[in-house]
Amino acid sequence: MGEKKLVAVQLSGGNDYLNCIIPYDNPLYVDNRQHVRITEDRVLDMGGGLGMNPVMSGIKELYDEGKVAIIHGVGYPDSSRSHFRSMDIWHTAEPTKLGAEGWLGSAINQMYPAKDNVVAAVNFAGLLPRALAAPKAPIASVSDLDTYGLMNHVDNSERDEALLAFKNIYMPAIGSGLVMDYLSQTGLDALKGSGIIQKAREDYKSDVEYSDDNFSKQMRAASAIIQADIGSRILYTQHGTFDSHTNGIALQEGVLANVSTGIRDFYSDIKASNKGDDVIMFVFSEFGRRVKDNGTGTDHGAGGVAFVIGDSVIGGQYGEYPSLEPHKLSIGEDLSFDIDFRSLYTEILEDWLETGAQDIVKGQYEKIGFLRN
Amino acid sequence: MTTVSNKQDLALMAHLLRRAGFGATPAELDRAMSLGYDAMVDELLNPDHDDNVPFDKIRRWRKDYSDLRGPGGAPGGIWMYRLIMTDTPLREKMCLFWHRLFATGHTKLIQGRPVVRQIDMFRKHGMGSFDNILVELSKDPAMIMWLDNQDNHATNINENYGREILELFSMGVGNYTEDDIKETARAFTGWSIVNPIYNSIKMNNNVMRPFGYLSWQFQYNDDDHDHGEKTILGETGNWNGEDAVRIICKNEATARFLARHLYHFFVADEPPVPAWPMVEPRDPEAIDALVNAYFESGHDVKSMLETIFKSDFFKAESVRYARIKSPAEMVVGTMRLAGSIDPLSNEANQAVDACANMGQSLLRPPSVEGWQGGTDWINTGAYVERVNFAGKILKNTDKSGIRDLINRVKAKSTSSTMSSDEFVDSCLEVLGPLEVTEGTSRGLKDYASKYGDLSWSDEASSTEFDKAAGSILQLIVSGHEYQMA
């Protein structure tokens, strides 16, 4: 087995749990979802009265092969219905105060204290998510793998020369003072990282034909980086929007289909390159949505569902599907949580990335046991 | 003819305009030189007009601006437009200063409008008396909701604002007690907004319906104010919020804290704020001078700024290029160099995203502690963004500002020809002038040597020259020197 790698998949906007893993024969589901309901004839049946959203056939296949852990009822106390705040909480593992450091950025700092691995974490999610932000953590942020690189705006014919000149400008600056040294080292790291990543892109070969949506592009890029074995341990992707206030079913199914297909293709791709054991995917969203629909969609809620996917995962369902009984709902309207998201983080950090969890999640949380030993 | 003293004056003026503004185009620098240093400082300190930003036009044509939320949900576009287009740069820079110090995010409020209004408040009051700024801040609806003061009641205090006004906004850790926090919180009971419960629910639910985003207004509820006696920093009385501010502002710790923040922002990078109680200021005498200016002027921020810009410690060579540019300075300064932007284009939103990619989401600070600045700005991801962003803009020879730079390079020779070394020196000169290390100069000249002697006597060679100039300019702004202000 090679170095273990984590692919984070962020479903931005609040994924509707009830229409993702569907309790199709629960009368309370039918009552509450008069307008925004997936009917029994459409679900991909999982048994026990639950079924997956019909667009999730890719994930369903993997689930049937025992590669998917479904974590029911994930959340945190006093759930915030604000996208930003709730995502912040997931990113920083700080539900009660504003945290500044991201859980994965902190993990990188713990794993590489010498900060010598310039591609330890690679972000494909556009703006650097706070999950990856931590002081001085070297994070490579790749907006588009096909064009990524230092001085990517320079014509091909001139770029090599320009990069050499860049290096020639930066090398002599080392040793000219603390701040200049730091700037210059970072500049050289950026140059190195961008070279490594471009090389990975050039070497990447695959028989898998990914879709051309934005999510599949990110997963394809993640696969290229993983296959190149350049020392990247955390790869961060995101897709959205899942914010289905109106046009609920069509909106969610559109993006969920991208995610399911992208994950299925990615899995086949890394499997074909014999890296299946080295990679897990962790899929999460900032919250689930309101139990009762609003006529055309659903508003923000609380408890949600997370997935951990890969050959090193013990497939199955973990935790209980949250009750839809009115008195069991969070503030009378939302699904409650049963599993604190910091339990997932603890298991991923300690048993997968093999780094301490306590300083990051700031406490002790019981692991769930979805990883093979 | 460029004399030695003229060259020194020019370097000093460029330093002033980098710090009190966002750097200068060659034309702005020429104008400043004709005014003279002290007159330029006075002009920056006393803007006599509002800058001309066509809000009505923007609101009608750009829905994402008019809602004050950008494509990523960030409301920074409208402020970015002003930062790039303003002709009162110090006033705008002070807005950035206060935004760093009083960092408030739309992340918690969900609504962009109150945070944009808070910046408007900084623009209006940001160079006045510090007492007044703190009173306005305490009445600011975005700040009230950001730090939960609507939940600070006579019968049941919420310490959040009481704590932060002392710790983060005025005095710094170690200059007050936990009791002072509670008593300050009591003084601010009843400082709320109109209809706080409804607006809190809307904030938490994050829905526009049914009435869209509302304009929040300050409201003082005397019924909910604790009218009992309070002791704040040793002074006892039936204090209200204004009294708390008055007591805070006459304290020397407040003057020192503000002075150090101003020094950090305008003169040279200090360590991160949490380290301040343990680490001496870089220049204790400069801090003393600013503390004196604070007390002599009756707590006037403009007087402190004037003291900075006219002081020897600001003019000293040792503090030139001694600050790492914040992403906002990097983005705004580079955009300004390239010329004006169309209010109806998407460029301001793209600039907001570029800033965020470099680590500074305007109006969306990472926490109530804002951004620490200095080397915190620099990591590899951010570095690639900085280099690529600046390079891409400088390489765009269609932009009016870049065309002007190139024409000025050409104007340095009367014979329509120059050696590649002269060419590099001229490019550095029109960019600031930007002073670079020997190593950088050599690297640039080695690169440019491939051009041999350059000329622009006919159209074809002129086009080639422009292209070469674009290449060198983008390489220069990729260097470490351009990261510094």
pLDDT in tens, A54-63: 999 999 999 9
pLDDT at residue number B71: 47
Residues of chain B with pLDDT below 50 are 1, 70-71
Determine the Cα angle at A280 with ends A274 and A285, to 5°. 150
List the single residue in B357, B380, B387 with the smallest CB-CB distance to A193.
Answer: B380
pLDDT score of A199 more than 70: yes
pLDDT score of A366 more than 80: yes
pLDDT at residue number B205: 64
Identify which of B478, B398, B482, B468 has the alpha carbon closest to the alpha carbon of residue B435. B482
pLDDT at residue number B24: 95
User: Given CB atoms, is B353 within the 8 Å cutoff of chain A?
Assistant: yes
List the single residue in B376, B378, B475 with the smallest CB-CB distance to A162.
Answer: B475
A168 CB neighbours in chain B (<8 A) are 439, 442-443, 446-447
Contact flag A190-B439 (C-beta cutoff 8 Å): no
User: Given CB atoms, is B396 within the 8 Å cutoff of chain A?
Assistant: no
Contact flag A85-B471 (C-beta cutoff 8 Å): no
Note the pLDDT tens digit of each residue in A294-314.
888 898 899 999 999 999 999
- Identify the burial level of B453 via C-beta atoms within 10 angstroms of its C-beta, where 0-12 means exposed, 13-18 middle and 19 or more buried: exposed
Output the DSSP codes for B329-379. Answer: HHHHHHHHHH----TTSSHHHHHHHHHHHTT--TT--SSTT----GGGG--
pLDDT at residue number B271: 87
Interface test with B, best of A12, A80, A98 (most B CBs within 10 A): A98
B382 CB neighbours in chain A (<8 A) are 128, 141
User: Given CB atoms, is B450 within the 8 Å cutoff of chain A?
Assistant: yes
Contact flag B361-A88 (C-beta cutoff 8 Å): no
pLDDT at residue number B481: 94
| Amino acid sitting at position B439 | G
Instruction: Report the predicted TM-score, pTM, of the whole model to 2 decimal places.
Output: 0.81
Lowest-confidence range among A71-85, A137-151, A311-325, B290-304? A137-151
Note the pLDDT tens digit of each residue in A4-54.
999 999 999 999 999 999 999 999 999 999 999 999 999 999 999 999 999
Contact flag A165-B446 (C-beta cutoff 8 Å): yes
Distance between CA atoms of A218 and A222, rounded to whole angstroms?
A: 6
pLDDT at residue number B336: 96
pLDDT at residue number B273: 87
More confident residue, B67 or A263: A263
Contact flag A162-B204 (C-beta cutoff 8 Å): no
A84 CB neighbours in chain B (<8 A) are 73, 105-108, 110, 364
| Amino acid sitting at position A304 | G
Note the pLDDT tens digit of each residue in B247-264.
999 999 999 999 999 999
Note the pLDDT tens digit of each residue in A340-350.
999 999 999 99
List the single residue in A128, A165, A190 with the smallest CB-CB distance to B475.
Answer: A165
Contact flag B72-A85 (C-beta cutoff 8 Å): no
User: Given CB atoms, is A242 within the 8 Å cutoff of chain B?
Assistant: no
Note the pLDDT tens digit of each residue in A142-155.
877 887 889 988 88
pLDDT at residue number B207: 58
Distance from CA of B234 to the nearest CA of A (A): 30
pLDDT at residue number A144: 79
pLDDT at residue number B306: 98
B107 CB neighbours in chain A (<8 A) are 82, 84-85, 88
Identify which of B115, B120, B126 has the alpha carbon closest to the alpha carbon of residue B91. B126
Spacing of C-alpha A313 from chain mean position: 16
User: Given CB atoms, is B324 within the 8 Å cutoff of chain A?
Assistant: yes
Determine the Cα angle at A145 with ends A141 and A146, to 5°. 145
Identify which of B338, B305, B289, B308 has the alpha carbon closest to the alpha carbon of residue B47. B305
Longest dimension (CA), chain B: 83
Identify which of A297, A235, A223, A211 has the alpha carbon closest to the alpha carbon of residue A13. A297
Contact flag B380-A189 (C-beta cutoff 8 Å): yes
List the single residue in B374, B380, B443 with the smallest CB-CB distance to A186.
Answer: B380
Contact flag B443-A169 (C-beta cutoff 8 Å): yes
Interface test with B, best of A152, A169, A182, A286 (most B CBs within 10 A): A169
- Ordered domains of chain A (ranges, CATH): 5-144+195-361 (3.40.720)
Distance between CA atoms of B446 and B467, rounded to whole angstroms?
A: 17
Lowest-confidence range among A126-135, A270-279, B138-147, B308-317? A126-135
pLDDT at residue number B366: 74
Interface of A with B in 294-313 (CB under 8 A): 299-300
| Amino acid sitting at position B443 | G
Cα dihedral A367, A370, A371, A372, rounded to 10, equals 120
User: Given CB atoms, is A118 within the 8 Å cutoff of chain B?
Assistant: yes
Other CB atoms closer than 10 Å to residue B194's CB: what's the count? Answer: 13
Interface test with A, best of B202, B203, B361, B380 (most A CBs within 10 A): B380
Contact flag B357-A127 (C-beta cutoff 8 Å): yes
B474 CB neighbours in chain A (<8 A) are 151, 153-154, 162
Cα dihedral B152, B154, B155, B159, rounded to 10, equals 30
Contact flag B478-A140 (C-beta cutoff 8 Å): no
Identify which of B321, B324, B312, B420 has the alpha carbon closest to the alpha carbon of residue B375. B324
Q: 3-state DSSP call for residue A357?
A: coil
Tell me how many residue pairs between chain A and chain B have CB atoms under 8 A apart.
164
pLDDT at residue number A297: 87
Distance between CA atoms of B449 and B444, rounded to whole angstroms?
A: 9
Spacing of C-alpha A21 from chain mean position: 18
Distance between CA atoms of B236 and B119, rounded to whole angstroms?
A: 34
Interface of A with B in 243-272 (CB under 8 A): 245
